[in-house]
Structure formats: C-alpha cells, structure tokens
Amino acid sequence: MHLHILGICGTFMGGVAQLALAAGHRVTGCDANVYPPMSEQLAAAGIEVIEGFGADQLRLRPDLFVIGNVVSRGNPLMEAILESGARFISGPQWVGENLLRGRWVLAVAGTHGKTTVSSMLAAILEHVGLAPGFLIGGVPAEFGVSARPGGSAFFVIEADEYDTAFFDKRSKFVHYFPRTAVLNNLEYDHADIFPDLAAIETQFHHLVRTVPATGRLIVNGADAALARVLARGCWSQLERFDVDDGWHARDIEEGASHAFEVACGGQGFGRLPLPLAGAHNRANALAAIAAARHAGVAPAAAIEALARFGGVKRRLEVRGVVGGVTVYDDFAHHPTAIEATVAGLRRRVGRARILAVLEPRSNTMKLGTMSARLPDSLREADLVFCYGERSGKNALGWEPAQALAPLGARARSFDDLEALVGAVAAAARAGDHVLVMSNGGFGGVHGRLLQRLAAPRERAA
C-alpha cells in the first residue's frame, strides 16, 4: 500500500513513516518545515519528502493519505483531498489499527518526561532481550532512531495528550489501548486546544478507561491532578511512584553519580547510579522500572539497564565545545521543563556560568499563557537570551522583554537571530555553558553559535 503522510517531519509522524516502511508499505510525505533529527532519519530511510502542501500532490494517487495534526482546514492539499473524496486517516488511528493491535502496548503519558521515560523503558526491555518496538518523540542514544517495529509482542509508545487531527479532537493516546500505562505528571499545557487543566484531566480519564482490568496504571502519586483523574474511576491494577508507600528513591547522592536506592514500599531492589541528574529523572527512572516489572522484567535487571542509559537526543545534548564554551541542545519548552533542565545543568556544572538561550516556540508559549512563569524558571541561569519573531506564524503574542523584566540586566530579548547569536558569542567565555532550549529547529542556532565561537576575532571583548 502507498501511504502519503502529511506533516511527515514531526517527531511522531516521522516515526509513523519509518514504521510503515518497515511494515512493507511504500511511503512518501510532505511538510513545510524540515529539520534534524527527523529530516536525517527520513533521508537515511530513503523516504521521499516533498516541501510544502501543494494540491498537486494529489496526482501521486496514494492508497491512503495519513494526516498529522499540523494540518488544518485551509491547507491546500487537505482541501484537495476532501474535494476529491480520497481516503484519509489520522496518524494515531493508523498506528493503533495497524501497528498496535494484538501487542502488549506500554504507553507513557504526561506533560513532562514522556520521551525520557519511553526511552528508558525501551532500553530496559532491550537490555533483557525482549526486542521491543517503539515510537518515541525523540531519539534514544541506545537505538539511534525514534521508531522501530521490534521483534516481540512488546511496543513502547510515547502517548501524547495533544489532539489527534483537525477532524478528531480527542487526544492521540485514546487510539493506543495500552496494557501498561504510565501517567507521569499532569500540568496545564496546549493552551491552543485546551481551555483549562480540567479539560486535559478529562482526556487522561478517557485514557484510563481504555486500560483493561488486567492492565496496570503506573501513576505519579505526588501529582494532585492525576489524583483527580483517578478519583473519576480506575478499573485496572494500580501502582504509584514518587511516594513513600509506592516506588521511591532513598539514600540519594546528589554528587557526580546521582545514585539512589530503588525501593517500593519497604523493599529495596538495588542501587542505581543514574547517569541523568535531578529529581525529575529519578522519578522518570522509577516509573520506567515499575512499568518494566509489569512486563515481566525484574527490577534488578532494570536497574542494571538504566545504570548505562545513554540519554536522549535534544535532552541536555552536548552539540560542541569551542574555546572552553560548551553548547547544549534541549527540547525544554514549558516553564516546568525549563526550570528542571536549568537546575539539572546547574547540578552538573556547579558554579560555572550558564547562558540560557530560549525560543518560546510551542503554541502554548506563543500565546503567552505561561510567560509570567518564565523568570522564575530561569532563575538559576546567569544570563538569559530570548528569541521571538514579531511577525508570521511563529510570532509571539507577548513581549519577551516585558515578561523577563524581573531578571533585570541578566536577560535580553531579540527578534533577529543573527543579533542573538552575536550577543551570546560576545558574552560567552571559557568555562561557560550555553544551554539552547526550543522544541523546534531554532534556525540552526547551535551550529551558528559554534561557528561564531570558533571565530574569536568576530567576538566582542
């Protein structure tokens, strides 16, 4: 079958493309924005990607158009598809019906940490020889790809609460019907589609309803919003983490090893020297260990796997070091994630200077819903550089300079990318750590920074 995927360069739809190709389908696709790592994965897989959403792509005459949620009414190709009566389906529904049916699905949901927990869980299952399939919104270092079909009944999927498609406003995860479901945390996000936190809680309630009675929910016991979700009904086995009477970390070392004892209730399972820093990553690890145990993996084996966990691309990923200045890339785009990322780097680098470079690019951030929280989330950074376009589809609906005013002279805002690059390069000095945070390509700012840092004569004194 020939599938033509609209929005193919998103992390989810790009993964769908690779899985469909592995399943024997002919796959093509289109998108308006193409950037790594997905563009590189698609090219390596030999999948043809067409720039833009031209109506002339209807001439490809695929058997089925697979629609990503980036597509809306008014999209020229989508309008042509509707007018022609051609067959189409959403990406999440296609995945649920064609890849997940009959498999042991382990779904990881939550506002934060989905990619990390999914990657940890896949790494654990791989470590014990279970050869899981997976579809993750990032690239785990252990695998080098964001999706693969796997060689067993187990399939790990990052279960996003964002809407399925313009014609299906339910959350993506209602299509997955997991046997093991991790509910990692729940905050207000996606202000473009959800009016309030209660609306998101309703979607999580719908997810809970899809888990069978013999399935298991692995739930953050310290999260009040998730407690409200469970109060609306729970029909499956339930385990909690990040609480003393459930899975928890004890005897924590905050030093270089980030080690802690993994325990559940009063029982200890072993010491985990976790390569990732921070309380949020300890919670992520506990969730992955608990979920893996439901799939039959002993906690000791899971601990062994996570002790060598290589992390995920775009999660405090070092992109280069020039002149003693280290440049990182991170996907953080919500104030809670930004705060955790900066704090994690602070624990890693001690008193060295952190230069935070932020692009508020998500729909929620562009609307300004969370802008008042930004100063506090960036408080551990020494300098802050914020980039926001003033016009076009990515324009901010608020003024960064005003929002970041509580940080005083530590913060600067820019609407010109080259000016931002020049300012960061001029401010950076040997021993500094430049933390770039965006959920998009950010105009290739990482490479531009490294190039500018390598040309000292262009840097201001």
pLDDT at 269: 96
pLDDT at 279: 85
Residue 136 is assigned to a structural domain of this protein? yes
Q: Which residues have a Cβ under 8 Å from the Cβ of 58 and sit 6 or more positions away?
A: 77, 80, 81, 84, 86
pLDDT at 295: 97
Stretch 35-62: mean pLDDT, rounded? 89
Chain centroid to CA 108: 11
- Say what percent of the chain tops pLDDT 70: 95
Do residues 289 and 252 both lie within one domain? yes
CA distance 93 to 173: 9
**Which SS3 state, helix, strand or coil, does residue 402 take?**
helix
Do residues 85 and 223 both lie within one domain? no
Q: What tens digit of pLDDT does each residue of 216-230 get?
A: 999 999 999 999 999
Do residues 243 and 261 both lie within one domain? yes
Stretch 10-27: mean pLDDT, rounded? 94
Residue 312 is assigned to a structural domain of this protein? no
Do residues 88 and 119 both lie within one domain? no
Stretch 149-153: mean pLDDT, rounded? 96
Residue 286 is assigned to a structural domain of this protein? yes
Task: State the total domains in the chain.
Answer: 3
Residue 17 is assigned to a structural domain of this protein? yes
pLDDT at 35: 67
Residue that is last in its domain, among 92, 114, 135: 92
Of the candidate ranges 125-134, 157-166, 353-362, the one whose mean pLDDT is the lowest: 353-362
Residue 322 is assigned to a structural domain of this protein? yes
Stretch 109-114: mean pLDDT, rounded? 92
- Statement: residue 310 has pLDDT above 80: yes
Question: CATH number, domain at 80?
Answer: 3.40.50.720
Higher pLDDT, residue 150 or 256:
150
Per the CB < 8 A criterion, the answer to whether 185 and 109 are in contact is no
Q: What tens digit of pLDDT does each residue of 235-247 get?
A: 999 999 999 999 9
Do residues 274 and 369 both lie within one domain? no
Higher pLDDT, residue 394 or 19:
19
pLDDT at 210: 98
Residue 6 is assigned to a structural domain of this protein? yes
Do residues 203 and 349 both lie within one domain? no
Print the domain residue range for 281. Answer: 102-306
- Number of helices and strands in the chain (H, E): 15, 23
Stretch 58-70: mean pLDDT, rounded? 97
Q: What tens digit of pLDDT does each residue of 68-104 get?
A: 999 999 999 999 999 999 999 999 999 999 999 999 9
Residue 97 is assigned to a structural domain of this protein? no
**Which SS3 state, helix, strand or coil, does residue 140 take?**
strand
CA distance 166 to 384: 36
pLDDT at 459: 43
Of the candidate ranges 158-167, 199-208, 218-227, 246-255, the one whose mean pLDDT is the lowest: 246-255
CA distance 459 to 444: 19
Stretch 313-322: mean pLDDT, rounded? 84
Higher pLDDT, residue 155 or 457:
155
pLDDT at 393: 65
pLDDT at 344: 82
Do residues 124 and 224 both lie within one domain? yes
Residue that is last in its domain, among 51, 68, 92: 92
CA distance 184 to 108: 7
Helix (H) or strand (E) holding 395: none
Do residues 296 and 330 both lie within one domain? no
pLDDT at 352: 93
pLDDT at 34: 72
H helices of 108-253, where?
114-127, 197-209, 224-231
> Nearest-5° angle of CA 446, CA 362, CA 121?
80
Question: CATH number, domain at 433?
Answer: 3.90.190.20
Do residues 358 and 299 both lie within one domain? no
- Statement: residue 267 has pLDDT above 50: yes
Residue 435 is assigned to a structural domain of this protein? yes
**Sheet hosting strand 433-437, strand order edge to edge:** 317-322, 325-330, 433-437, 354-358, 383-387, 411-414
Question: CATH number, domain at 149?
Answer: 3.40.1190.10
Stretch 170-197: mean pLDDT, rounded? 92
pLDDT at 460: 41
Higher pLDDT, residue 311 or 447:
447
Q: Exposure string (b/e) for 51-66, b if CB count within 10 Å is 16 or more?
A: eebeeebbeeebebbb
Stretch 417-422: mean pLDDT, rounded? 92
Residue that is last in its domain, among 92, 125, 156: 92
- Statement: residue 20 has pLDDT above 60: yes
pLDDT at 457: 47
Q: What tens digit of pLDDT does each residue of 371-390 get?
A: 888 899 999 999 999 998 77
Do residues 115 and 83 both lie within one domain? no
CA distance 90 to 98: 12
Stretch 38-64: mean pLDDT, rounded? 92
Which class for 331: exposed (0-12), middle (13-18), buried (19 or more C-beta within 10 A)?
buried
**What torsion do the CA atoms of 310, 140, 443, 385 make, to the nearest 10 degrees?**
-50
Higher pLDDT, residue 458 or 372:
372
CA distance 107 to 184: 11
Q: What is the mean pLDDT of the chain?
A: 91
Stretch 397-409: mean pLDDT, rounded? 88
Of the candidate ranges 17-21, 156-160, 253-257, 266-270, the one whose mean pLDDT is the lowest: 253-257
Higher pLDDT, residue 299 or 137:
299
Q: Write phi, then psi, for 358 (nearest 5 degrees).
A: -120, 135
Do residues 106 and 88 both lie within one domain? no
Do residues 177 and 80 both lie within one domain? no
